[in-house]
């Protein structure tokens, strides 16, 4: 990684902030219509301890939901990728479930497990983010060219050996692609729960407080904090991908 | 004469499709002595790849038997090595690690150093010295196919099955690889079956050429190749080779149904 790879994204963020500031300034919008970046600093500073505390709540719940989504998503993807019957059986169910707006699932979960706020939040983060992982793993496994299987199968290798030495590593690039999508979805899930069913914790709750007290810059500040956490987690995934699937990235020619 | 190492007796195989049974092989006979190298040619889609999967034990014939080294084939055996038109190298491994892959399955007794030495020896033999730490994507098509060949023979298989390994290469690279095949066979003797669409390739590499009929494929014609052992590319351009080519071309036309079948001479 050279300095350009760091400087370019940061420059893009700065330019975006400048445009945002200009947009608000040119239109003469008051901050209850649209807060500008310069309005956000006072909010961040005023609620800095709450941002840290609630930010941590949101972050660990999101990561827990993601871990759950990876474990169960990979498991489902394996079942669907290795068995034609399971694929035919599970795909309509999964697609149907994924089409249900998760905002409507929030009250159901909240009623099912009354008071289990951490678990409820993690559950929604998981429900909203496992789908792309399951689909990509299943596609990766089911599209494995037969010759790849044959080079080991012809030596009498077991199905598990073929999976471990060939199918699994070959699916890793697709898996990480899906994980990058899942990261942002998991944040949406966590905040959905925190905003729709506020229980006094998490950035979603802070957003809700801003709404109740008509503190618009606070609401925008929460959104920006969420965006930053999303970027942070995304790059964590990119770093893990570099370790486990760095081979998939071709050298520039 | 020795007992054949590969013996296929009246094999029949059909695939189940939505419109019913689709027979691809019917009454196929093939016999390769130890150290022999047979080329199998035939019209497109006549079931040549099915044949390779039967020999490798990856498929079971509906009728008939496949024998390897005096044993009836009932499932995959580690005495087989395979290479395909697609080199199917694993991108997350280096060339050396790719070549060593079969040893991880078969030779659990060999030490890591022994496996590495064996793989390096083969890579040098096919002219890939110095490329052992490269990734497959960094190599040309011909080099990848060379590595794939090393992987197919690294565990000293008694039977080497080549399913159109040179079909996707350009003409010059292909001729280079033909020469490499002879060099490899001189140093690492094997008994082989080569599936190909290229009649010149069959004449240059094989001791015996088997022409399969159209689907369902049976053994239509067997030709004993007049060239023996390692040979130079010039031998392809002698009158005898030209005659052999003509006979084979004619047999393929019969197999395709484009020439009258009564001319079949066995």
Whole-model pTM?
0.80
pLDDT reported for residue B136? 92
For A167, nearest residue in chain B (alpha carbons):
B90
Q: How far is CA A91 from CA A83, A144, A216, in A?
A: 12, 19, 42
For A252, nearest residue in chain B (alpha carbons):
B138
For B86, nearest residue in chain A (alpha carbons):
A147
Q: What is the mean pLDDT of residues A117-139?
A: 93
Contact B65, B42 (CB under 8 A): no
**φ/ψ (deg, to 5) at A77:** -60, -40
Q: Do A248 and B91 touch (CB under 8 A)?
A: yes
Q: What is the mean pLDDT of residues B210-231?
A: 82
Q: How far is CA B39 from CA A65, B50, B242, in A?
A: 57, 15, 17
Which chain A positions have a beta carbon within 8 Å of B161's beta carbon?
154
Please state the separation of Cα A56 from the chain's center in Å.
Answer: 16
DSSP B155-203: T--SEEEEESTTTTS-HHHHHHHHHHHHHHHHHS--EEEEE-S-HHHHH
Neighbours of B175 (CB within 10 A): 17
Q: What is the mean pLDDT of residues B38-42?
A: 90
Most A-contacting residue of B76, B103, B108, B133 (CB-CB within 10 A), to test interface? B76
pLDDT of B264 over the 70 cut: no
Q: Rg for chain B (alpha carbons), in Å?
A: 19
Which chain B positions have a beta carbon within 8 Å of A251's beta carbon?
138
* Average model confidence (pLDDT) across chain A: 90
pLDDT of B1 over the 50 cut: no
Q: What is the mean pLDDT of residues A103-119?
A: 89
- Surface of B (93-112) touching A: CB under 8 A: 101-102, 104-106
pLDDT of B178 over the 60 cut: yes
B121: exposed, middle or buried (C-beta count within 10 Å: 0-12, 13-18, 19+)? middle
Q: What is the mean pLDDT of residues B219-237?
A: 81
B9 at A interface, C-beta within 8 A: no
Contact A70, A128 (CB under 8 A): no
Before A120, cis peptide (omega within 30)?
no
> Whole-angstrom Cα distance, residue B184 to residue B162?
14
Most A-contacting residue of B60, B91, B108, B136 (CB-CB within 10 A), to test interface? B91
Question: What percent of chain B clears pLDDT 90, i.e. is strictly above it?
Answer: 23
| β-strand partners of B209 | B39, B223
For B106, nearest residue in chain A (alpha carbons):
A155
Across the beta sheet with B71-72, the strand order is B20-32, B6-17, B63-68, B71-72
């Amino acid at each position: 990684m050279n300095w350009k790879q760091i400087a370019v994204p940061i420059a893009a963020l700065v330019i975006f902030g400048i445009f945002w500031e200009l947009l608000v300034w040119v239109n003469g919008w008051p901050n209850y219509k649209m807060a500008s970046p310069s309005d956000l600093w006072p909010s961040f500073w005023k609620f800095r301890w709450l941002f840290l505390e609630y930010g941590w709540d949101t972050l660990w719940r999101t990561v827990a939901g993601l871990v759950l989504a990876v474990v169960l998503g990979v498991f489902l993807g394996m079942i669907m990728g290795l068995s034609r019957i399971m694929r035919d059986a599970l795909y309509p169910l999964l697609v149907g479930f994924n089409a249900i707006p998760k905002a409507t699932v929030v009250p159901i979960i909240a009623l099912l497990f009354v008071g289990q706020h951490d678990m409820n939040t993690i559950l929604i983060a998981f429900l909203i983010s496992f789908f792309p992982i399951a689909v990509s793993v299943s596609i990766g496994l089911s599209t494995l060219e037969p010759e790849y299987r044959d080079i080991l199968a012809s030596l009498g290798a077991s199905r598990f050996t073929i999976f471990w030495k060939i199918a699994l590593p070959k699916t890793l690039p697709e898996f990480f692609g899906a994980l990058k999508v899942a990261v942002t979805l998991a944040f949406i899930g966590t905040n959905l729960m925190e905003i729709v069913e506020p229980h006094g914790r998490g950035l979603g709750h802070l957003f809700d407080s801003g709404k109740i007290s008509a503190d618009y810059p606070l609401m925008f500040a929460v959104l920006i904090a969420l965006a930053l956490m999303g970027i942070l987690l995304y790059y964590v995934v990119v770093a893990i991908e570099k370790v486990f699937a760095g081979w998939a990235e071709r050298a520039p020619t | 004469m020795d007992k054949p190492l590969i013996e296929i007796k009246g094999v029949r195989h059909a695939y189940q499709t939505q419109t019913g049974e689709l027979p691809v092989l019917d009454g196929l006979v093939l016999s390769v002595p130890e150290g022999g190298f047979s080329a199998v040619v035939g019209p497109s889609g006549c079931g040549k790849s099915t044949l390779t999967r039967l020999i490798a034990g990856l498929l079971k014939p509906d009728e008939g038997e496949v024998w390897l080294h005096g044993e009836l084939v009932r499932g995959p055996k580690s005495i087989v090595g395979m290479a395909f038109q697609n080199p199917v190298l694993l991108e997350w491994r280096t060339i050396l690690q790719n070549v060593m892959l079969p040893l991880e399955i078969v030779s659990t007794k060999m030490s890591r150093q022994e496996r590495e030495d064996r793989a390096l020896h083969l890579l040098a033999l096919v002219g890939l010295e110095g490329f052992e730490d490269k990734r497959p994507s960094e190599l040309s098509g011909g080099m990848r196919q060379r590595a794939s060949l090393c992987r197919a023979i690294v565990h000293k298989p008694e039977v080497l099955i080549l399913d159109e390994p040179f079909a996707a290469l350009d003409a010059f690279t292909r001729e280079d690889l033909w020469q490499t095949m002879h060099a490899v066979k001189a140093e690492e003797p094997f008994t082989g079956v080569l599936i190909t669409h290229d009649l010149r390739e069959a004449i240059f590499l094989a001791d015996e050429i088997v022409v399969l009929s159209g689907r369902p494929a049976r053994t239509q014609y067997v030709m004993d190749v007049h060239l023996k052992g390692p040979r130079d590319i010039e031998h392809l351009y002698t009158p005898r080779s030209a005659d052999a080519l003509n006979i084979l071309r004619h047999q393929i036309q019969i197999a395709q149904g484009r020439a009258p079948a009564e001319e079949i001479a066995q």
